[in-house]
Amino acid sequence: MFLFLTVVQAIVAALLVTVILMQKSEGGGLGVGSSPSGFMSARGAADFMTRATSVLATAFVVLSVVLAALAVNATATHKIDTSLNRSAPAPADPLAGAQNAPAAPAQAPAPAVKPVAPADPLSGAAKQ
């Protein structure tokens, strides 16, 4: 059923594009620049291309809603996938424990490092 409606949807879409492209271009989209007598006149509303466009557009929207409903029912699962759950506990907040944390043990001072004399650029050896 889903495949059949998908094929019908594709045919309706192709026909809708064809009918829209076959219509006479009157210029001035959305009624701008056209004469007021031609706007929403009985002759314009009864035109075959206008009616065909309306019918095909309505069929396209209805088929889209039906296909969306069928797709949801076909792919809906009632089992929740828990494969991404982690077994380790969540990490503690590093900012929240500042008041309750025990005092850090005192560290011994770092050993003094004897400075090294700069190397002689001509001989490549360090001065003593």
Per the prediction, the chain carries an average pLDDT of 73
Strand partners, 119: 126
Smallest CA-to-CA distance from 63 within 55, 52, 73, 75 is with 55
For residue 93, what are its two tokens? 């907040």
Using the predicted structure, report yes or no on whether residue 6 has a pLDDT greater than 90.
Answer: yes
For residue 39, what are its two tokens? 């706007």
- pLDDT tens digits for 46-63? 478 888 899 999 999 999
Q: Which pLDDT score, from 0 to 100, does residue 8 have?
A: 95
- pLDDT tens digits for 20-47? 888 877 655 445 555 555 555 545 544 7
Say if residues 52 and 16 touch (Cβ distance below 8 Å): no
Q: Average of pLDDT values for 87-95? A: 68
Instruction: Tell me the whole-structure pTM to 2 decimals.
Output: 0.47
Q: What gap in Å lies between CA 88 and CA 29, rounded to an integer?
A: 61
